[in-house]
Amino acid sequence: MSTTIPPIIAFDELDSTNAEARRRAEAGETGPVWLTAGRQTAGRGRRGRNWETGQGRNLAATLLLTTQRPPAEAAQISFVAALAVADLADAFVPPSIVTLKWPNDPLISGTKASGVLIESGPAPGGGLWLAIGIGVNLAEAPLNPERPATTFAAHMTAPPPAPLDALNILAASFARWLDLWDRLGFPAVAEAWTRRAHGLGEPCVARLGTETLHGVAEGLDPDGAFRLRLPDGMLRRITAGDVFFGET
């Protein structure tokens, strides 16, 4: 891997950029290559949620690549993706309102503006293929009162960037963070992520499927796990789940 920016293949419409990445990977394509679509008919977010791309005005893209890292370590690329989206946001909205919520939710003024979905599998030629799916609300946000979302446009006086223009910025930033991860390891990525972290030291709720925990956000462990300080003083490491702030 290097700071070379992978090529971009743009489609008018796909079922899902991650699904297209999977098909290509299982057919033996190794990447790296960015896949993007003006419209997704079956876009997906984390935990099986739908992801709406709007009428060709939002960004939906997936980076397909192959790695020799073990699965647990490869999953840390979600932090790389979040940092790249934060850089993209910085280019269009005040950087002071751009933060990151664990594990990989870029926020603008505390509200979600993007989503990251990492999928993987054994590559036919060896190693692991990764599909790093990124959706960014450039111009339109889904109407979901349970999970409020915002857009770049809501925080801009000029029109938001076109999706392909945004992807070019995102791809360049992603390549830089990927190079940093390769050269200096995850601690350098974790340090950069922590500088942008939303809600450190604040009360939060962690939902882990069948378990809901209340505590105070303490940050990242060296492997990317979320540190939650429980009311009884115990520390809980969270490796999978959702964290919410401002809830009781």
pLDDT, residue 50, reads: 53
pLDDT, residue 53, reads: 55
Same domain flag for 148 and 61? yes
Give the span between the Cα atoms of 58 and 162, in whole angstroms: 8
Query: Which tokens in the block code for residue 40?
Result: 């997704």
pLDDT, residue 54, reads: 57
Count how many domains the chain has: 2
Same domain flag for 30 and 108? yes
Same domain flag for 103 and 148? yes
Put simply, whether the predicted model's pTM sits higher than 0.85 gets the answer yes
Domain hosting residue 187, numbered range: 8-195
Residue 90: half-sphere exposure toward Cβ, Cα within 13 Å: 14
In a domain, 152, yes or no: yes
In a domain, 3, yes or no: no
pLDDT, residue 246, reads: 79
Same domain flag for 94 and 157? yes
Same domain flag for 211 and 131? no
Same domain flag for 236 and 164? no
Same domain flag for 33 and 130? yes
Task: Give the domain CATH number at 219.
Answer: 2.30.30.100
Give the span between the Cα atoms of 246 and 248, in whole angstroms: 7
Contact criterion met (CB below 8 Å) for 139 and 58: yes
pLDDT, residue 247, reads: 64
pLDDT, residue 23, reads: 97
Same domain flag for 141 and 224? no
- Tell me whether residue 210 is exposed, middle or buried, using C-beta atoms within 10 angstroms of its C-beta: 0 to 12, 13 to 18, 19 or more: exposed
Please calculate the CA angle 220-225-228 and round it to the nearest 5 degrees: 70
Give the span between the Cα atoms of 165 and 157, in whole angstroms: 18
pLDDT, residue 95, reads: 97
229 by DSSP, 3-state: which?
A: strand
Same domain flag for 216 and 191? no
Same domain flag for 189 and 78? yes
Same domain flag for 59 and 176? yes
pLDDT, residue 47, reads: 45
Per-10-residue mean pLDDT of the chain, 248 residues long, equals 84 95 97 96 59 74 97 95 98 97 94 95 96 96 79 96 98 98 96 94 91 94 93 94 80
pLDDT, residue 78, reads: 95
Same domain flag for 211 and 141? no
pLDDT, residue 229, reads: 96
In a domain, 225, yes or no: yes
Torsion of CA 107, 111, 113, 117, to 10 degrees: 70
pLDDT, residue 2, reads: 47
